[in-house]
């Protein structure tokens, strides 16, 4: 069974309660990784997360980058893990998925959907009951729920040292990363549940405003850059890839 790591800020008590209730219902034990915040970044942290790209990271993004980077270091030294941000909503198939990933050549598997198309292989492989995985060539939308293996963690850490960026961008740009996408999706962030028509009873009682506190969508120019990147990737993988709006089965999220 995979380790499960929940990235959570000390101040986000409601989010931790939500994740605890959800994971308890799924029968999943987890480790809490205390997230960095802009206020807790040391000078050394700031230096290691300093971006040299045209669009420098905000203090918020630097903190999130370092939080994920800590999780990658964990995986690199300890073994594969499911990494979750503390606003991830999970499908009830997740335990079955975790039990079926012991032997694989994957390095990264995204469980998440976030309302944007992803560039994936035309073919897929079964990875759990009712769930398949597509080889993924382009995705810059979210890093709230993904499985990572040590080989993938090492690639992400190398990429983070070369060019610190938002967690999802680091994953998208990591050289040679064998990345896959679960289909149908097995996770989404709380700010996506209305879009996909989900209700979270009886977990709604655990939210206590968490949904309203979901972190904002990124800047418009970044979304435009992602669109251009998708077009470029589609041309590169023209013969073996297609854009996919990852399907969602609402009944999978009936906790």
Structure tokens at 201: 């009873």
Say which residue, 253 or 228, is predicted with more confidence: 253
The whole-angstrom separation of Cα 220 and Cα 154 is 31
CA distance 39 to 56: 18
Residues 204-223 pLDDT 10s: 656 655 654 544 434 434 44
Distances (CA, A) of 139 to 29, 47, 71, 255: 28, 27, 20, 27
Name the 3-class secondary structure at 199: coil
Domain containing 211 — which CATH number? Answer: 3.90.550
Residue 19 clears pLDDT 60, i.e. is over it: yes
Please report which confidence band the pLDDT of residue 254 belongs to, taking 50, 70 and 90 as the band edges. Answer: confident
Q: pTM to 2 decimals?
A: 0.86
Whether residue 46 has pLDDT greater than 60: yes
Instruction: Provide the residue range defining the domain that includes 61.
Output: 3-253
Cα–Cα distance between 39 and 9 in angstroms, integer?
11
Q: Are 172 and 164 in contact (CB under 8 A)?
A: no
Please give the tally of structural domains in the chain.
1
Under the banding of pLDDT at 50, 70 and 90, the label for residue 151 is very high
């Amino acid at each position: 069974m995979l380790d499960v790591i929940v990235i959570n800020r000390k101040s986000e008590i409601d989010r931790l309660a939500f994740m605890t209730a959800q994971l308890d219902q799924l029968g999943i034990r987890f480790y809490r990784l205390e997230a960095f915040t802009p206020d807790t970044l040391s000078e050394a942290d700031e230096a290691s997360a300093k971006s040299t790209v045209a669009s420098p990271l905000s203090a918020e993004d630097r903190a999130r980058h370092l939080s994920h980077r800590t999780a990658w270091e964990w995986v690199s030294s300890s073994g594969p893990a499911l990494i979750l941000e503390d606003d991830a909503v999970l499908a009830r198939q997740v335990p079955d998925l975790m039990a079926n990933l012991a032997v694989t050549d994957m390095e990264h598997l995204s469980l998440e959907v976030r309302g944007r198309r992803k560039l994936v292989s035309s073919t897929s492989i079964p990875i759990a009951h009712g769930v398949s995985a597509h080889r993924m060539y382009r995705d810059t939308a979210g890093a709230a729920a993904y499985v990572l293996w040590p080989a993938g963690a090492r690639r992400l850490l190398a990429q983070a040292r070369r060019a610190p960026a938002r967690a999802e961008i680091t994953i998208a740009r990591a050289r040679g990363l064998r990345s896959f996408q679960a289909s149908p999706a097995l996770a989404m962030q709380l700010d996506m549940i209305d879009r996909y028509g989900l209700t979270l009873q009886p977990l709604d009682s655990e939210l206590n405003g968490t949904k309203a506190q979901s972190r904002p969508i990124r800047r418009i120019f970044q979304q435009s850059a992602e669109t251009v990147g998708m077009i470029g990737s589609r041309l590169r993988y023209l013969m073996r890839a297609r854009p996919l709006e990852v399907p969602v089965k609402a009944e999978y999220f009936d906790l």
